Structure 1
Amino acid sequence: MQTANLAQVSAQYGLTLLSHFDAKQHLSAELQEQYPWAQSIALVGQGAQGYWPVFSQSAEYLDGAANPIDRWSQRLGDDIAHRFDGQALYPFTGPPYWPFLSWAAAAGDTATSRLGMHLHRHYGLWHSYRFALLLPNPMPAAVDVDKYQAPCDNCAKPCLTPCPVDAFAKPGEYQVAKCRTYVRDNPQSACYTQGCQARLACPEGQGSHEQAQHQYHMQVFARG
């Protein structure tokens, strides 16, 4: 029941319950000592679409201040954690920086792609973690199937050809500076106006973000 309730509450804000698992198996000794009551961890964030229409109407987005997504995420995370008698942890408040990607991979819901970014079993490259919830009640395993395996080895890898600067030419290495320079200097390019062409070419997952979100993130990325 808690799983369904948490998913429903998250969906009200355009967010998705991306993974959940046993805290005792995956929390570090430090976190177990700090939160001995925690029985489960839920990873909440964005999966493909639905988030942008909500966030873009938020006070944090509209006030023009810095870090609107982080501030919005922290407000919602704290509120949802309070509703479920839990504790929210964030990927942007470190150090220490919590191992969100390791948690998701250990739970069997993600795997590393050829681009270096993690693929989610349902949302492919189009997911992001806004917060984790430590919860006082156990939750069933998020999946009853085999651990997710990235399909990249058996894929034609269309993701490797669209990038105009070959920012992903080396496996597992993303040449950020080269990518940012191109996006910044070419505001009429498909990369700037539509989003990362390499990510968009990946056939895995249930679609990408709304167009307005692609543009927002690329504008922020170009500014550095």
Structure 2
Amino acid sequence: MFFPMFLWYDPTFYLVIIGLVISLAASGYVNSTFRKYDQVPSRSGVSGTDAAAYILQSAGIHDVQIREVSGNLTDNYNSQDKTLNLSQSTARSTSVAAIGVAAHECGHAVQDKVRYAPMNLRAGLVPVANLGSTLSLPIIFAGVIFGMNHIIISIGLWAFAAALIFQLVTLPVEFNASRRAVAILSSSPLLSGDEVVMVKKVLFAAALTYVAAALTTFLQLLRLIILFGGNRDNN
């Protein structure tokens, strides 16, 4: 994220450093955890794609298409076009990690089927969050240019807060999808008990990336409030 050069010398820049460390630590942890259990082949020998197909069928979901997409850990469920997109490292692998990731995305499909409220709320917040993350800083800096105009700056801060709200709503959605995935795998022939324990570690590591993202955004918002929120013109 772009910051004017003068912001690099203010005392609150340590908040940016803390956020960066948190993000890097979470990313490193999820990557190392996935690599570790991606080297453990499942005893069932099913691939991520096969596991996803089994789970969807078992859940009575017949309108979701499973697709293979490029990239690594780019797996996602799209409720708009009813597609479950598995990255190549997940779709073709028979590892415990791959099956766990596939099951997690199936958890989102199940959420969609039962109309899980936080998921619907998150979907509704997407346009607002995207707009807020894109326009918040330009709006705040416009307020600074116009003599610390408190109205413009407030609009910018609330726009930035919208992105944080979206990330906070995302947390229960992701944790719930992981819980659903673990429950499904625990009662299926896809993985044994000790393999499900490994999946829990993979999904917990993945969930931490969302926690880290929310913490990082909160620290950025706090920094903006310290820099601009307390010095607004009251005219």
TM-score by length of 2: 0.28
Rg comparison, structure with higher value: 2
Q: Give 1 or 2: higher helix fraction.
A: 2
User: Greater relative contact order (Cα 8 A, min sep 6): structure 1 or 2?
Assistant: 2
TM-score by length of 1: 0.29
Q: Give 1 or 2: higher strand fraction.
A: 1
